Every structure is written in C-alpha cells, then in structure tokens.
Structure 1
Amino acid sequence: MSFQDTKRQGRILYVVNEDWAFLLNRLPMARAARNAGLEVHVATNVSNGAAAIEAEGFVLHHIPFQRGQRTMPTAAATLKAIRKVEHGIKPSIVHHSGVQCCVFGSLAALDQTFPVVNAITGLGYIFTSSSSRSRLLKRLLTRLLPWLLNRKCSYTIVQNPDDRETLLALGANPDRMMLIPGSGVDDELLQPLPEPEGRITVGFAGRLLVDKGIRTVVRAYDLLRDQGHDINLIIAGNPDPANPSSVSREEIDAWAARPGITWLGHIDDIVSLWRASHIAVLPSYREGLPGALMEAAACGRPLIATDTPGCREIVLTNQTGLLVPLEDSEALAGAILRLAESPELRASYGAAARRRVSERFSARIIGHAITRLYDDILTHGEILSATSNGRENPYRPSH
C-alpha cells in the first residue's frame, strides 16, 4: 500500500554539502518525507545547524564536505564517509542535493542497489564561469553526469526547464527525470506584508557572489543615486570564501560605507528584510529556482531579476515583476526606477507574485510531489508518469 494512504516504514538519507544549505533549501522536503512515515537521516558538513536539524527529529551524520576544494584526498574522505553512513543505516532511498552531492553520492553508491534521487538544484558556477578551471570541470561533468544519472537505480529531479534541456542535451534519460520546481515555500508562515513607509528600499538576499549579480545591483544603485534618486539598498547575506565567485569582505565594507546602503550579513529572519523593502532584486547568472525571490514573492513583494534559467520561472514579465538582461546595470536601474515611481505596479506585481508562489511553489504542493515521487520509486521502481518525459510535474495535488 502506498504511503499516500498509510504511513510507510523506511529510511531516507539526504546528502547535502552544508547543514545551513539543508535547513535553507531542503527542510520542507524532509518534513514531508517525515510526515509520510519515513525515518529521516541527514548527512552533511556540520557547522552551526546541528541543533536545528535534530530538533526536527532527524538523525544527523557528519560528512567532511569541503566546498571549493576538489583534491583527491578530500574527495576520497567524503566518499568513504558517505559509504560508512549508508552501510550503517541501510537506507531505503538516498536523496542527493546539488551537483557536488549528486556526483560524490552517486560514486559512493555505484555498487549499491538502493534507489538514488539526484536533485540538480542549479548548474551553478561551473556552468556560468568562463575560467579555465571551470571549463575543465565542465568538460568532466558533461561526461560524468549522464553516466551517473542514467544508472538503473538513479532518478533525477530538476527545478526548471532550462536545466532539464541542458541535461537532456548531455544525454540524460528523460524517462528517469522529473521537473519539481524547488523545495517549497512556507506560504502559511510567510504572509503578504504592507509596504514600509519612507523612501523606496530595494532588498537583495543571497550569498555575495559575482554570479548572484551583487555587483550589478550595487552599480545600478550607484547609477540611481548619481541621477538624484533617493533610494535605499539593503543587502542580506555573506561572502562565501569557498566559492570562486565570492566578492571580498573589503569590497562589501566599501559598499556599506556608501550613503543609503545597509549590509546586514546573514539573517535568520528573512521576513524582516522584506518588511523593510519595497522591491526584491536578484540579477543572478543562473539559478535552480531562487528561494530568495520565492520568499519575497510570498511576502507580496514585486520582483526584478535577470532573464536567466531559474529566475524566469518566478519572475513573469509585467505580471510578477520585471526581467532585465544579464550584467546590465543600466537596465536594472531602469527597472528599479519604474517600480519605485509606481505604487500601483508594485501592488499589482506583488499580489501576482504571491499568487504564483501559493499556486505553484508552496511547501504543500512540493511536499506532495516529492512524497509521491518517493512512493513511486519505492513501490514500483519507476516514475509512473514517465510519459511526461520530464516535461512537467504530474504529482501536483488537485485543488
């Protein structure tokens, strides 16, 4: 009997590179799996998230992931640690989150028979950077990924159609691929907020990486201030030294010293950012599905983003917000000014953004989709709606 009808006994192991990444991005999925009757285990690099993970009733396992370090000894230690956890708990299903974990986890499971879900949460720095090192890694991944994803017991989740088409072009099997948009936004906790009083404030939330577009945001802000527009900018997020795309602390300090710019660093209460902001911006190079914009949308904020994979799934031009070209600070400044000068557009786009999140990206919808997918895999050994060929998600609940 399906665990859609009764609670299934079994263990699911989530493999995530950082504990904060699990809490930020995978928590709604893991809760859905727990509520469906699966015993949830989390294998990750542990920093400050242990108490929060264990408070959910999940079993935590330390894995020595080292983002940004790809030497053979560190990779071997990670593979050995993953295999040790799998041998100890004998999982019913393993869910890898992100390209690094999909590669390491799939290699660790090569001689195992348990089903593996490889969640491609965005193709990230390696696919967006033009550096010689990233080009080498991209060539390696284009050969390695299809081989790992097409294993008999492997299934693939993508978050947006662009990533799906990229993987299909590399040779991934469409019958073993499912598009499930994100990990879910708690639209019951995140409610529409009234606009703040005072001068127009733009909010940015995310790691402070070049490929998140943070420099484009600051350049657009400078253009607006130089033109005499009295607009504020709030930046929430920290640099990420493990990522080659990270900006430096010195650069951030220089931004924060400018009039009208506030740098908050990491914040736990994302609602406080959107309560203080009129507009949400994320001119990213590429996303799986941008959680920051979905949270802003749930709070009823109009959105501005780049016309790039992932971003265009939540930002619909002239509906939920505005799309601008990549690395175009002038276009971004113009979009900000357009919304800054029109309370009517901000209200219209914000309301539409909220509806889109509730109708497509809510934790309830995504939780239903992921547990149905787990159930198909565990019960039938296949994605039952394989006729979709990865083109759409057949697991959405009826309204």
Structure 2
Amino acid sequence: MNRPPRKLLFLVVEDAFFYSHFLPRARAARDAGLEVVVVTNIRQHGARIRAEGFRVLPLNMARGSLHWLEELASLARIRAIYKREKPDIVHQIAMKPVLYGGFLAHTLPPMHVVNALVGMGWVFTSNQLKARLLRPLVKAVLRFTLQVGDGMAVFENPDDLRHFVATGAVDPERAVLIRGAGVDVRHFRPVPPKPRTPVVSLVARMLYDKGVAEFVEAARLLRARGVPAHFRLVGGLDAVNPSCVPEAVLREWMREGLIEWLGHQQDILRVWQDTDIACLPSYREGLPKSSLEALACGLPLVTTDVPGCRETVTHEENGLLVPPKDAVALANALERLVRDAALRRRFGQRGRERAVREFSDDVVIAATLKVYHVPAPSASPAPPPSQKRRELAPPTP
C-alpha cells in the first residue's frame, strides 16, 4: 500500500506575503513530493495559490489586533486546524504565527516546526511606548515557543541570529540562517541605462520605519543643492501598521514637487528597469526582497547600516551604506551616484553578480528544503512569465 505524501503546512497571516515571498519554496516542496497546505487570510491571492495545487484554509486573523478575545479566538482556530490536518511539517512565518503556532505546538502531537522570524516587526523597530512595553513580553514568549520539539528557527540575517542565540531565546543548534526570500534572477535582469535625469526609487510599504521621511528630506536637500534627480516612492499604504505614513502627507510631498508617489504597482520588474538608483533607508529589516530585486536588475543600492539592510550591500563595492535616520548622509550618498554614471554601472554590475551568487531563488530553495529534511527535486520547467511576476511589497505579517 502506498504511503500518503508527507504534509507541509504554512501558517502566514497575509496571502499576499506568502505569494510574493514563499511561493517558489512551496512549489519546490510540492515537486519534492510534499502535500502543501496554506493557512492564511484569504484576500486577493487565494485563487492563485490554489491554482498551484495547494489547499488554502482561511485563518481570519487580524494582523494588528491586540484584543485578548480576538487573540484567543485566533489561537482556537489555529489549534483546531493543526489537530485536524495533522501536518508533518509546519512553517510558521513572522511574529504572530511563530508566537501562536509555537505555543500551541507544545500541546499537540510531535511535528517538525520551522519558525521563520522575518523582519522582526513593529514591536522590535519602533520606539513608541506601546512597542517598548510589549517587547519584553514578546521576547519571553519567543523563548518558550522557539524550543518546541525538534523545531528550527530561521533567521534572514546574522545579526538577528546572533542576538537570539546570545540572549538564550534559541539554542545554537536550532538556529539557521537563510538570507531572505530569494529572487528570480532569470526574471529580474538589467537593461541598458537610459540617457536622462537619474531616477531614484524607494520600493516598500509607505512606513516611516522604511525611512520614507528621510528619503523625502534627502530629495529636498538635493533639490536645494541643484542636483538633478527624480525621486519616486513606490508602494501602497499599510494602515494597520502604526508606522504608516498618512496619505495626506504623501500627497503634500507631491504638491511640493519633492517626490512622485506611484502607489501600489504590480509590475515591479518594470519599476526597477525604469530606475537608475535603488534606495532603502529602513530602520531595520529581515532581508528586504525589494533590495534583492534591485541588485538582480543591476542597480546600485543606497541603504542603511542596520540588520538586514547591510546584508545586501558591501560598502563601496555594490552600493553605499549610511547611518539610519540621517537624511544628510543619505543625500550625500545619493548625490555621489547621481553625479557619477560610471560608479553606478560598476556598483550595478557587482550587485547583479552578488544576487546571482548569493540570493537567487535556487540558493534559498535548497536551504529551505534542507531545513524540511527533504531532498531537492530535479529541475523542473520554469512557470510562464505571467505566473512569475510578483506584486509589490504586500503587508508584512
């Protein structure tokens, strides 16, 4: 009698985040013989995920909620799903799924738990009083949830990994470094530069924590210096996040002529191929997928010297690192690149080489299957281009 395939269950709050950051890995797991189940809030991507042959189950979890009754209801729903599905492997993605799924895993039959601590979230990046009060509690619960069974904790950058090991939140043998979500280097490719005023693009959700205000202030400073550059913000609002930039503020910046805000864009390849300099002055990241796409498209990158961001840039090799929350340093770095086309080309070529060598989908997929204890499948035909385009920076869970 044939054994049924082993079951892999993804627990992730937003279907858009799964679709943009984990779809290639889920495909590889399916091709390796696993049954894939995705538990998520079903919004705009449910049908697309089902079309991959995955079962999709509704989560109905409020990403920004802290109301105790709603959170208890979420715990009960997750527990019921885990008991009914009996997965062999669960991949819990971002803070709430890691906290809730990890807590419940202590009370359920043994399963292989993979906790993906992507980005660390608002609690760890914000200096607001509410975030500072929650931080010790979240750290304490994480220490409990990350020690379940034979579970593994996956970190996107070595700074976060070292911190969690040093504080005792996770044992060294349970900590794994997988650097980001990967990038399809066959899809994201360079194009010849255009003879024009350089375009500087920041691609992210419109959050203050992404350095959006510093980006705009740098644009203001460079305009005052007479530096010719066009500044673009590309990304949607995330009203659930306390760090969200109000739409009225974005429109006021546009009225001043400082930036162009394009909002949410589906064709990110086109955005990057219409960009000369990529910029992400974020306060902290896991490992930003938008930066990997920019590198794959052969763009120089200006980003901050903080966890996650500095993983994508070697200073003076494929881009420039600046201190966080420092608009003057950001403006100075951008001015160098705006005025020096040869430097842009050199940084861009090195960035492309690095994306292919270190951050491609193939590298990330192989590392993830190893965490699942699953051998990598033989190469399969790539999906049609229409299926490979991702949507811009969906809300992080």
Q: Same fold by TM (over 0.5)?
A: yes
Task: State which of 52, 72, 76 in structure 1 corresponds to 2:72.
Answer: 76
Q: CA offset at residue 63 of structure 1?
A: 0.4
2:195 counterpart (194, 197, 208):
197
Cα gap change, 1:376 to 1:47, in 2 (>3 Å): closer
Q: Per the alignment, in what secondary structure is the counterpart of residue 116 of structure 1? A: strand
1:318 Cα deviation from its structure 2 partner: 0.6
1:104 matched residue in structure 2: 100
- C-alpha distance in 1 between matches for 2:182 and 2:132: 32
Question: What does the per-residue CA deviation read over 1:118-164, in whole Å, with 9 as the maximum and x for residues that have no partner?
Answer: 01112222112122211121110121111111122321101111000
One-letter code of the match for 1:363?
Answer: D
SS at match of 1:314: coil
| 1:149 maps onto 2:184 in alignment | no
Q: Provide the residue aligned with 2:179 in structure 1.
A: 181
Letter in 2 for 1:262: E
Q: Is the 8 A contact 1:196 1:275 kept in 2?
A: no
1:260-308 CA distance string (max 9 Å, x none): 6221111111111111110000000111001110001111110000000
- 1:319 match: 317
The code of the aligned residue for 1:37 comes to G
Deviation at 1:8, TM superposition (A): 9.1
Secondary structure at the counterpart of residue 357 of structure 2: helix
Correspondence 1:31 to 2:19: no
Give the conservation status (yes or no) of the 8 Å contact 2:91–2:115: yes
Residue aligned with 2:123, SS: helix
| Cα displacement string for residues 26-48 of structure 1 (whole angstroms, at most 9, x for unaligned residues) | 12221221121111111111211
Query: How far does residue 331 in structure 1 lie from its aligned partner after superposition?
Result: 0.7
- Tell me the distance in 1 between the aligned counterparts of 2:245 and 2:238: 8
Aligned to 1:395: none
Contact 1:205 1:237 in 2 (8 A): yes
1:215-254 deviation per Cα after TM superposition (whole angstroms, max 9, x unaligned): 1100000111111122111111112111111111111111
Which residue among 106, 110, 115 is the counterpart of 2:112? 115
1:92 partnered with 2:106: no
Contact in 2 for aligned 1:199/1:232 (Cα 8 Å): yes
Kindly provide the amino acid, as one letter, of the partner of residue 365 in structure 2: G
Distance 2:278 2:311 in 1: 15
Per-residue CA deviation, residues 183-207 of structure 1 (Å, 9 max, x unaligned), is 2111111111222331111011011
Q: Is the 8 A contact 1:142 1:170 kept in 2?
A: no
Distance 2:57 2:193 in 1: 42
Please give the TM-score of this superposition, normalised by the length of structure 1: 0.90
Give the length in aligned residue pairs: 371
**Offset of residue 256 of structure 1:** 2.4
C-alpha contact 1:8 1:36 (8 A) present in aligned 2: no
Q: Of residues 277, 280, 297 in structure 1, which corresponds to 2:278? A: 280
Give the structure 1 partner of residue 380 of structure 2: none
Taking the aligned partners of 1:142 and 1:110, their CA distance within structure 2 comes to 17
Answer yes or no: is 1:169 the counterpart of 2:169.
no
Query: 2:1 aligned with 1:9, yes or no?
Result: no
Q: CA deviation at 1:259?
A: 2.5
> Is 1:133 aligned with 2:130?
yes
Instruction: Check whether the contact 2:322–2:329 (CA below 8 A) recurs between aligned residues.
Output: yes
**8 A contact 2:216–2:258 mirrored in 1:** no
5+ residue gaps, structure 2: 376-397
Number of the residue aligned with 1:4? none
1:22 equivalent in structure 2: 18
Q: Distance in 2 between matches of 1:145 and 1:129?
A: 18
CA distance in 1, matches of 2:156, 2:33: 25
Q: Does residue 40 of structure 2 align to residue 44 of structure 1?
A: yes
Q: TM-score, normalised by structure 2?
A: 0.90
Question: Of residues 350, 365, 368 in structure 1, which corresponds to 2:366?
Answer: 368
- For 2:131, the aligned partner's letter is S
Give the share of equivalent positions with the same residue, in percent: 39
Structure 1 residue corresponding to 2:62, chosen from 44, 63, 66: 66
Distance 1:23 1:246 in 2: 22
Question: Could you say what secondary structure the match of 2:348 adopts?
Answer: helix
- The question of whether the paired residues in 1 share the 8 Å contact of 2:32 and 2:374 is answered with no
Aligned AA (1:23): Y
331, 334, 338: which one pairs with 1:333?
331
Aligned to 1:55: 51
Relative to structure 1, the CA distance from residue 328 to residue 260 in structure 2 (aligned partners, 3 Å threshold; closer, same or farther) is: closer
Deviation at 1:353, TM superposition (A): 0.7
Alignment deviations for residues 44-94 of structure 1 (CA, whole Å, 9 cap, x no partner): 112111122112221111101211111111111211222222222221100
Q: 1:164 & 1:75 partners in 2: Cα distance? A: 28
1:315–1:322: 8 Å Cα contact kept in structure 2? yes
**1:80 and 1:108 in contact (8 A); partners too:** no
2:384 equivalent in structure 1:
none
Cα distance in 1 for residues equivalent to 2:274 and 2:316: 23
Q: Aligned partners of 1:230, 1:340: CA distance in 2, in Å?
A: 7
Residue ranges of structure 1 left out of the alignment (5+ in a row)? 1-6, 378-399
